[in-house]
Amino acid sequence: MMLTTIGLMSGTSLDGVDVAMIETDGKRVKAFGPSGYRPYTKDERNLLRQALTEAVDLAERDARPGILREAERAVTIAHAEAIAAFTAQNRITCEDIDIVGFHGQTVLHRPERKLTVQIGDAAALAKAIHIPVMHDFRAADVAAGGQGAPFVPVYHRALAQSLEREGPIVVVNIGGVSNITYIDGNDTLIACDTGPGNALLDDYMVRMTDQPFDCEGRMAAQGMVDVAWVMRALELPFFALQPPKSLDRNDFASLKLRDMPPADGAATLTAFTAEAIARIVQDASRAATARHCRSRRGVGLGSGRDRGTGLRVPGGAWPERPAAELSCHHGRADADDRGDHRAAVISMQLH
């Protein structure tokens, strides 16, 4: 049965609430509707950063001590406002929507402890918007011993099918944490977190410049990468693990850069994200080559692909692998503009 649905997402980039409407039966996308965005204010972002800090000590996923209760209320209100603005702008009534998917805001992700915590009051949201709300998507998988992340590979497969491309496709999603989905027809679907996304760089920008992120990658583009630092960071145990594997937003927060100009710091953290992605993507590309598949295309999603510079990794700087470039091409994908559903094609040039 096809349903008209609205999806809400507030990711670990802490930038705001994304809104998207689609018609779906849960397996395929029949039609893409409009999309919208409600940015978090500076005060809201600061509140969520405090919530992330306090959530480290949580032992129960339903506990809301201290600042977490205030943060949950703020997240719920922001999502209600996002829905109100979206429906008003697009002249949609609550009767037009069958269900709303409400992810909430992840403040702690510890699958090894069978614990994942997303704040947001679904009952209060449903009452405010007068539409049924589905929520709490990760907990059951984590309780059963799964990773509970990445969250979107099934949707990525539906998106890949809509592109009507043959052969394997890799979807790269750059949020606070980066992840990939490797899709080869209906039988093969592999997904995992790859490493940091925007989180390390965003936190660095807040500390060094009081800006929430590196707008259009301008600062990173002016800097020099500390290659030795990146290579040491990539020796952390996470990068040797095989999928499935996932990360908490702050798993790499203890990593410290040496004293360097802010532009060099931004460039180094961007390179860390890019190289972690490139290593996983290259493995997927080898798999595609081994299967004699000609497709070597990828799809870039998430807030990171809209932040400018692109993820370009100079091959000569990285030992033990060929040159690779992951460059985000902004705007339309296949001349099919779908608002926030649109895909930015990532070219993988392997030499």
Read off the pLDDT of residues 187-220 as tens digits, 9 standing for 90 and up. 778 899 999 999 999 999 999 999 999 999 999 9
Write down the pLDDT at residue 124: 98
* Per-residue model confidence (pLDDT) at position 47: 98
Stronger pLDDT, 318 or 212, i.e. the higher one: 212
Q: What digits encode the pLDDT tens for the residues 256-294?
A: 999 999 999 999 999 999 999 988 877 666 655 555 554
125 contacts: CB under 8 Å, gap ≥ 6: 76, 79, 80, 83, 100, 102, 133
DSSP calls for 144-192: TT-------HHHHHHHHHHHT--S-EEEEEESSEEEEEEEETTTEEEEE
- Counting residues of the chain whose pLDDT is more than 70, the rounded percentage is 80
Check residues 322 and 271 and name the one with the higher pLDDT.
271
pLDDT at site 144: 95
Q: What pLDDT is attached to residue 280?
A: 81
Does the pLDDT of residue 350 top 50, yes or no?
no
Mean of pLDDT values over 144-166: 85
Residue 312: pLDDT band by 50, 70, 90 thresholds?
low
**Contact predicate 7/101, CB 8 Å:** yes
pTM of the model: 0.83
pLDDT score, position 286: 62
Q: How far apart are CA 18 and CA 35, in angstroms?
A: 8
Confidence at 141, pLDDT banded by 50, 70, 90? very high
Extract the runs of DSSP E, i.e. beta strands, from the chain.
3-10, 16-24, 29-39, 99-110, 115-119, 133-135, 169-174, 177-184, 188-196, 297-301, 311-313, 324-328, 344-348
C-alpha 8/C-alpha 6 separation (Å) is 7
Give the model's confidence band at 313: pLDDT under 50 very low, under 70 low, under 90 confident, else very high. very low
For residues 140 and 337, the model is more confident at: 140
Share of the chain above pLDDT 90, in %: 66
